Structures are given as C-alpha cells and as structure tokens.
Amino acid sequence: MNQLLAKITEYELLTPLPIGPGATNLDKVTLATYIPGIVNLVIGIAGVLAVVMIIYGGIQYMSTDAFQGKNDAKGTINHAIWGLVLTIGAWLILYTVNPKLLDFNLDIQQQDLGAALTPPNILTAEELRTDSSIRSDLGNARNDNRVAITPYTGPCYGTVTTGCVNVDKLQRSVVDGLKTLANYCKECGTIIITGGSEGGHTTNSLHDRGLAVDISQNALLNAVITANGGLTKEGRTVGNLSLVECATYTNTNFPGRFLWEPTGATCGGDVKSSNDHWHISY
C-alpha cells in the first residue's frame, strides 16, 4: 500500500535539485523526499546568503570613510546575522521541542481493523459441545474464580422456547468472541446471555445457526462497546459513547458486531424487543 502511494505521488523535476541524502541531485522525487529536501535546501541557501552579506558588509565597511557608509555597512552585517540566527533558531526550537516535528514522514500505514471483520469459524457437528460444557467454558473465561459469562437461566428442553437459553450450538467464533469481550472489560461484571441458539428464532437466522447471542446491558459495558461510535441502519455515523436505536457498533479490541436493541425496537425483524439488550453477531 505504501509503495503504491509513493509511486502515485512521484513526479519528475524540471531540473535536478540537490535535495537528496548528502545534497545529492535528484530528478525524480515524492512528497516524502521533496518537502524535507526543500526545507534543508532553503536553510542551506539562507546560511550561504547570510555569509555572503556579512562579507559584503565587511567590504563595504572597509572601503568607505564616510560615517553614513559605515552605518549602512553595519546595518547590512546586522541584518545578515539576524537572518542567520532566525533561520538556525527556528530549526533548533523545533528540534528541542520534539525532533519528530522535523521528520516529514508521509507514509500512510495500513490500519488494522481487528478481529471485528474476521469471518466466522463454522464448526462441524462433531465439534459442537454440550450445553453444560459451553456454560462452564464461558463462566471460567477470566480465570479469576468469578463467573465471567452466563445465561440468565437454564437450558430449554422439549418444545419449550421461552424462559430458557441454549448455548449448545454456539459456534467457536461466538464463544471466543464473548470470552475476549469479558477479558477486555473485567470491570463490566458478569456478562448475562439472554438469547442463544434455542428454538423460537427464525429458521436459518444467525441465532438459529449459532452465530449470534443477545446479552444484557449495563452502563460500563455500554460505554466499552460504544467507545468508537457506530453506524445507524441508514449508514449515518454515530458519535462515541452514544446509544442510538438499531445502530451497530464495532471495536478493534474485541470481535463482533453489536446491535443496540432497546425495549420496543424492531431492529432485526417484526418482533419487538422485550428489553434493552445487545444483539451480537459473529
């Protein structure tokens, strides 16, 4: 990426300039080499001109006996010295404050979008674990003898699909994503799962395929999730730490897409949300 950008901004000078390393002549430059080269060249020219003017003022002073002529010569020398001092002084001040102020680094580093955009890891049927083992794995995510993540109630049995939560079909990406969130925000307390892979969700939906969960909200958890802002359904930007109905948030510190569904909202379908919660998809 950086090499491509450097190539795009490269252009050929009408005449070579001594702006390369060690004052070497360059006929092709980029902004990254042109700007610092010109700055150094201007400082060098200013120093040479100052010396020339000091010599000129000295000659002018010695070649005249007139009082006014000697004053003019002194003025020329003083102006040359002050110009040299200002030129070098400006450079020294910037270098003293922060040497990086003189480092014209125009390289654009490729940004790491983090695990938020990592494709989900779909498990095979043989890799799916039992509900109890996943509950235990989630609960011990922080390894500090405190319950890190837990469903708010027990698993569903038979045809029951309400008042219970199943986690037996959650994919590895979901389990690992929840554990990463819990360890990133250890002060958030226990993360409560209110919806998992139990029946009652739309067939072939993210919940049905074990690629999404619903979790309860709390003030600190909300702040962590919304720290970098998000996007509304219409694609408008949401500011940092702002909760907006049906907006989606991501954070490079932990994976997942976090959809805010307040009570009464219909963000993902026709069914209204029964409480304030986060719908997390992986």
179 within some domain: yes
**Domain check: are 32 and 7 in the same one?**
yes
| CA distance linking residue 64 with residue 59, whole number of Å | 9
With beta carbons less than 8 A apart as the criterion, state whether 34 and 53 touch: no
Q: Is the pTM of this model over 0.75?
A: no
**Domain check: are 83 and 170 in the same one?**
no
Domain count, the chain: 2
Residue 202: other Cβ atoms inside 10 A: 12
Residue 261: other Cβ atoms inside 10 A: 22
**Domain check: are 222 and 159 in the same one?**
yes
Rounded to whole angstroms, what are the CA distances from 217 to 48, 190, 259, 278?
68, 11, 11, 7
10 within some domain: yes
Q: Write out the chain's pLDDT in tens, 282 residues.
A: 444 444 445 667 777 777 666 667 777 777 667 777 777 778 888 888 988 999 998 898 888 878 788 888 888 899 989 988 888 888 888 788 877 766 666 655 555 555 445 555 454 444 446 888 899 999 999 988 889 999 999 998 888 888 999 998 899 999 999 999 999 999 999 999 999 999 887 788 899 899 999 999 999 999 999 999 999 988 999 999 999 999 999 999 999 999 999 999 988 767 788 899 999 999
Identify the sign of the CA torsion 134, 137, 142, 144: positive
C-alpha 74: how far from its chain's center?
Answer: 57
**Domain check: are 97 and 187 in the same one?**
no
**Domain check: are 229 and 267 in the same one?**
yes
Residue 30 is part of which domain span? Answer: 2-102
**Domain check: are 140 and 19 in the same one?**
no
Q: Which DSSP symbol is given to 239?
A: -
